[in-house]
């Protein structure tokens, strides 16, 4: 095995985007590093994959040994962002040993369109720093944008050409395709899928649930997929929806919603307050009607013009909020 491309993957959605990238540009000689064993449950690990488990200190040392033995030149390093202790650990290992050719950023939610900034002394940053000491690795506290760090030039892979990095001189953009055209349903049903969101303190759930209740009357069935980091018992958005729509069904799956919809031609409508899947869903199947609400309220000062432009370009619609009471 010869390694020319190294991917770091720490969510199921990232795995989907990495596979799309590899397929789009016909990459070979690539090596995937998974930072959690749950990401590859129910399948065997391939020879070009490595999983960091509970014993991450031992695994990280073993990973570095595998990389060193299988690199004959310099490699391209791929990550969604640098707010991860393993991402930085591998990056600085490659950099220190002069193995690094370039850094590539692959799609992850809305990060290419609507940025996320981290505070230098946040608790998460400090905990990652402590973990890096336990790994005998390097982690630099991230301050500001979590994507473009440490290098002067980057390559960006995106499903859309309009990103928040497009106008920057130190970034090159390569557009990749989302999945296969044969996965697109030409005829869709009338079912509605509602996606949950993580930050539940910034929008009026009663108002949104009321508006969906007005809107969904013509829908055959209504489904709800919770946010992967939000327990259903603590999901106030779901509670409001359940009050308004008692027949709502919960989809319990860790798979990215983009993958799930490939098997569900009955779903023709998708709503989310601020799901990172909004744009990806519309790209993966243009025939699905995608709706949103309160995006500016949800993102606040970090709301990006680029995100808004892409939403308009793709024909993603804003749900009309109903302020009256039934």
Structure confidence by residue, pLDDT tens digits, 193-232:
999 988 888 888 889 888 888 776 666 789 999 988 888 8
- Res 123 pLDDT > 90: yes
pLDDT at position 216 is: 67
Q: What is the pLDDT of residues 229-246, one digit of tens each?
A: 888 888 999 999 999 999
pLDDT at position 218 is: 65
- The confidence band for 262, taking pLDDT boundaries of 50, 70 and 90, is confident
pLDDT at position 326 is: 46
| Residue 123, CB-side half-sphere exposure with 13 Å CA sphere | 0
Centre a 10 Å sphere on the Cβ of residue 146 and count the other Cβ atoms it contains: 18
Cβ(70)–Cβ(2) under 8 Å? Answer: yes
- The confidence band for 185, taking pLDDT boundaries of 50, 70 and 90, is low
Q: Which of 112-116, 173-177, 183-187, 301-305 has the highest mean predicted lDDT (pLDDT)?
A: 173-177
**Tokens, residue 142:** 């991230």
Place of tokens 């000491």: 133
pLDDT at position 179 is: 76
pLDDT at position 187 is: 54
User: Which of these ranges, 106-115, 158-167, 178-187, has the smallest mean pLDDT?
Assistant: 178-187
User: Which of these ranges, 30-44, 60-74, 116-130, 188-202, has the smallest mean pLDDT?
Assistant: 188-202
Of residues 17 and 72, more confidently modeled: 17
| Residue 20, CB-side half-sphere exposure with 13 Å CA sphere | 26
Give percent of the chain with pLDDT exceeding 90: 57
pLDDT at position 299 is: 82
Q: What is the pLDDT of residues 272-295, one digit of tens each?
A: 887 777 888 888 888 889 999 888
SS3 letters across the chain = CCCCEEEEECCHHHHHHHHHHHHHHCCCCEEEEECCHHHHCCCCCCCCEEECCCCHHHHHHHHHHHHHHHCCCCEEEEECCCCCHHHHHHHHHHHHCCCEEEEEECCCCCCCCCCCEECCCCHHHHHHHHHHHHCCCCCCCCCEECCCCCCCCEEEEECCCCCCCCCCCCEEEEECCCCCHHHCCCCCCCEEEEECCCCCCCCCHHHHHHHHHHHHHHCCCEEEECCCCCCHHHCHHHHHHHHHCCCCEECCCCCCHHHHHHHCCCEEEEEECCCCHHHHHHHHCCCCEEEECCHHHHHHHHCCHHHHHHHHHHCCEECCCCCCCC
Domains recognised in the chain with CATH numbers? 5-175 (3.40.50), 191-318 (3.40.50.11110)
- The confidence band for 142, taking pLDDT boundaries of 50, 70 and 90, is very high
Of residues 295 and 106, more confidently modeled: 106
pLDDT at position 253 is: 83
- Res 263 pLDDT > 80: no
Place of tokens 């990459």: 27
Mean pLDDT, all residues of the chain: 89
Average pLDDT score over residue span 13-40: 94
Average pLDDT score over residue span 155-163: 95
Sign of CA dihedral 313, 110, 3, 139: positive
């Amino acid at each position: 095995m010869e390694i020319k491309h190294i991917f770091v993957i720490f969510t199921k959605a990232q795995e989907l985007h990495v596979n799309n990238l590899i397929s789009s540009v016909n990459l070979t000689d690539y090596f995937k590093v998974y930072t959690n064993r749950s990401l590859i449950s129910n399948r065997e690990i391939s020879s070009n994959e490595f999983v960091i488990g509970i014993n991450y200190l031992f695994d990280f040392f073993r990973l570095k040994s595998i990389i060193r033995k299988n690199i004959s030149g310099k490699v391209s390093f791929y990550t969604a962002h640098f707010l991860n202790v393993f991402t930085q650990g591998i990056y600085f290992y490659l950099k220190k040993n002069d193995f690094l050719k370039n850094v590539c950023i692959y799609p992850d939610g809305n990060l290419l369109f609507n940025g996320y900034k981290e505070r230098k002394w946040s608790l998460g940053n400090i905990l990652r720093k402590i973990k890096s000491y336990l790994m005998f690795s390097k982690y630099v506290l991230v301050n500001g944008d979590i994507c473009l760090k440490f290098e002067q030039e980057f390559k960006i892979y995106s499903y859309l050409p309009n990103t928040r990095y497009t106008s920057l001189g130190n970034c090159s953009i390569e557009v990749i395709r989302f999945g296969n055209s044969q996965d697109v349903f030409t005829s869709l049903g009338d079912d509605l899928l509602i996606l949950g969101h993580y930050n539940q303190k910034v929008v009026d759930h009663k108002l949104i649930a009321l508006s969906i209740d007005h809107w969904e009357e013509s829908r055959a069935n209504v489904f709800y997929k919770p946010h992967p980091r939000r327990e259903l018992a603590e999901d106030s958005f779901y509670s409001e929806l359940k009050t308004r729509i008692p027949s709502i069904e919960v989809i319990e799956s860790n798979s990215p919603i983009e993958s799930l919809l490939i098997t569900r031609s009955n779903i023709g409508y998708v709503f989310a307050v601020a799901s990172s899947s909004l744009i990806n869903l519309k790209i993966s199947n243009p025939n699905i009607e995608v709706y949103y609400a309160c995006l500016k309220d949800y993102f606040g000062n970090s709301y990006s013009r680029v995100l808004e432009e892409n939403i308009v370009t793709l024909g993603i619609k804003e749900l009309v909020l109903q302020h009256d009471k039934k």
